[in-house]
């Protein structure tokens, strides 16, 4: 029995190498699609990897299979985004802030406008609206909402003056009158 060990070991090593090469090729293809934001196609390949290699006896293969599970869940989240029900003005403010941070200024302004039409007269809302208008290079709109913000809460003067988003207004005399 002692003599059989070395003969079996090379056969297992070869099987592991073949399985590792196979999963690596599939994983690479899926990852390439993922990076190109082809989430549906990448998700299909990740799912196939997860299913095909779930019973592997090799740690190296299972490690890649586990990574594929993580990417599979990410692709699922990308292809099936959660729908959040916005129930009140505050929900729209938070969603607007999220959209503003994500770079979708138009969508952010839609949410802010909804909150404002819902009789929300919050200084923070006006602050966010001013930032959004400034990102659209609408200086007049930004100044109008800075003024509304400061009428609601003067403590925002320091915040607005020091906020990097409002840096383009640092030389604007109307801005300086508002924040001084």
Q: Cβ atoms within 10 A of the Cβ of 8, count?
A: 9
Higher pLDDT, 175 or 14: 175
- In terms of Cβ atoms closer than 10 Å to its own Cβ (0-12, 13-18, 19+), residue 68 is buried
Name the percent of the chain lying above pLDDT 90.
77
Which residues, 6+ apart, have CB-to-CB distance to 171 below 8 Å? Answer: none
Taking the C-alpha atoms of residue 97 and residue 125, their distance in angstroms, rounded to an integer, is 9
Higher pLDDT, 128 or 78: 128
What tens digit of pLDDT does each residue of 21-43 get?
999 999 999 999 999 999 999 99
């Amino acid at each position: 029995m002692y003599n059989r060990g070395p003969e079996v070991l090379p056969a297992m090593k070869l099987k592991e190498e073949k399985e590792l090469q196979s999963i690596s090729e599939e994983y690479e293809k899926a990852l390439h699609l993922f990076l190109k934001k082809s989430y549906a196609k990448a998700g299909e390949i990740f799912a196939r990897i997860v299913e095909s290699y779930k019973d592997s006896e090799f740690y190296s293969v299972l490690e890649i299979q586990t990574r594929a599970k993580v990417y599979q869940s990410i692709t699922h989240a990308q292809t099936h985004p959660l729908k959040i029900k916005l129930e009140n003005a505050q929900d729209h403010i938070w969603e607007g802030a999220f959209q503003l941070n994500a770079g979708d200024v138009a969508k952010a302004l839609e949410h802010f406008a909804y909150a404002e039409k819902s009789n929300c007269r919050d200084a923070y809302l006006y602050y966010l609206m001013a930032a959004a208008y400034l990102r659209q290079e609408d200086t007049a709109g930004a100044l109008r909402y800075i003024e509304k913000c400061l009428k609601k809460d003067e403590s925002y003067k320091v915040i607005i003056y020091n906020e990097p988003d409002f840096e383009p207004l640092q030389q604007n005399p109307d801005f300086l009158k508002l924040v001084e």
